[in-house]
Amino acid sequence: MNENSGTIEITTTDVESGKQTIEHDISENERTTHSTPKRPKRDPAAVTAEFEFLTVSLLAKRWCVSPSFVRRLIWSSRLASTRFDQSIRIAHSEIERFENEAKNAA
């Protein structure tokens, strides 16, 4: 595409007739850039409310903290968790207990 002239040059090769060039003028509407649409932002509490157990990353998003912070709470025994095979899950009842304890301490 020639940016200055506003035309696209399309080149096709035909075996019998040789090279053929076609120019197409681009209107202002056709010059828009295409991008993938962005997802609407969701409330982290609404996203996590549908699950009985949350992953470390989902809980971190809900609390707006890093996943390593949630893991430190688990390793320090301040937040109880359940291990399913290789993954760590936190029950909603434990999350509510921790959140209520944090509210009462503040």
- Which domains are present in the chain? 44-105 (1.10.10)
Q: To which H or E segment does residue 73 belong?
A: helix 67-75
Place of tokens 């998003």: 61
- Displacement of CA 92 from its chain's centroid (Å): 23
Rounded to whole angstroms, the Cα distance separating 87 from 61 reads 17
Residue 70, pLDDT above cutoff 80: yes
Average pLDDT over residues 60-66: 94
Is there a contact between 7 and 21 (Cβ–Cβ < 8 Å)? no
Specify the pLDDT at position 1: 47
Flag whether the pTM goes above 0.75. no
Q: Is the dihedral of CA 11, 13, 19, 22 positive or negative?
A: negative
Neighbours of 90 (CB within 10 A): 21
Candidates 80, 81, 52, 47; CA nearest to 64 is: 47
Confidence (pLDDT) at 68: 97
Q: What is the pLDDT of residue 63?
A: 94
Q: Is the pLDDT of residue 77 over 90?
A: yes
